[in-house]
Amino acid sequence: MKIQSNQLLARRRAGWLLLGMSTMMAVPLVSIMIYRPNFWSELFGINETMFRIPLAWVLAGGITLGYVMYTMRVVPMVRHNLWERSWLKLIGIFASLISGIFEELFFRARLMDWLDNNNINLLWQILVSALVFGIAHGLWGLFCAINVSSSRQSYQRSH
């Protein structure tokens, strides 16, 4: 499939944006891992006991596989570009892994620990964390909508 120049430019911009954002999240994560060797086990419970629950791994793998298969069938862009080799895909995988870890660290570990240290009960910790998480992601959606709108206006004015 031949990519038009405006699509190529959009992919490059998306790649640089994803790479920049994920690198900004990766730097503090790497520094935490260097200075706190028990980072994974303390904050995420990742240790040797997690491998003793094979059913959880089978369920996680099944859910992931189901999601990927569903996305391949329903989202045309995914279906058309499935086997295309691309740096953007690799950057997207890197960004999704880093952002997931970063979000867990901030929204679950830090925010909920802070609320717990201020004697807020667990239900309120969960609600506040979910609300802040939702607002943060809603702002990203708003930012993207504004960016797309202004890009379209710029393009229309130039042509």
pLDDT band per the 50, 70, 90 thresholds, residue 3: low
pLDDT at 123 (0 to 100) = 96
pLDDT at 125 (0 to 100) = 94
Question: How many angstroms separate the CA atoms of 111 and 132, rounded?
Answer: 9
- Higher-confidence residue of 71 and 3: namely 71
Contact 155, 138 (CB under 8 A): no
Residue 60, in any domain of the structure: no
Domain of residue 131: give its range: 5-44+90-153
Residue 117, in any domain of the structure: yes
Question: How many domains, the chain?
Answer: 1
- Higher-confidence residue of 7 and 149: namely 7
Which CA distances in Å does 132 have to 37, 41, 63, 146? 29, 25, 26, 21
Average pLDDT over residues 3-11: 78
Taking 90 as the threshold, does the pLDDT of residue 11 lie above it? no
Tokens in use for 121?
Answer: 């009960």
Please work out, in degrees rounded to the nearest 5, the angle formed at the alpha carbon of residue 121 by the alpha carbons of 118 and 123: 135
In sequence order, the 6+-apart residues with CB closer than 8 A to the CB of 146 are none
Residue 65, in any domain of the structure: no
List pLDDT tens digits, range 12-64: 888 888 888 889 888 888 888 888 878 777 776 777 787 888 898 899 999 99
Residue 18, in any domain of the structure: yes
Question: How many angstroms separate the CA atoms of 65 and 58, rounded?
Answer: 10
List pLDDT tens digits, range 112-153: 999 999 999 999 999 999 999 888 888 877 777 777 676 666
Taking 60 as the threshold, does the pLDDT of residue 2 lie above it? no
Residue 133, in any domain of the structure: yes
Question: How many angstroms separate the CA atoms of 92 and 89, rounded?
Answer: 5
- Which range of 71-75, 109-113, 121-125 scores highest in mean pLDDT? It is 121-125
Tokens in use for 67?
Answer: 């999601």
Question: How many angstroms separate the CA atoms of 9 and 130, rounded?
Answer: 35
Residue 49, in any domain of the structure: no
Residue 62, in any domain of the structure: no
Residue 33, in any domain of the structure: yes
**Burial of residue 102 (number of CB atoms within 10 Å: 0-12, 13-18, 19+):** middle
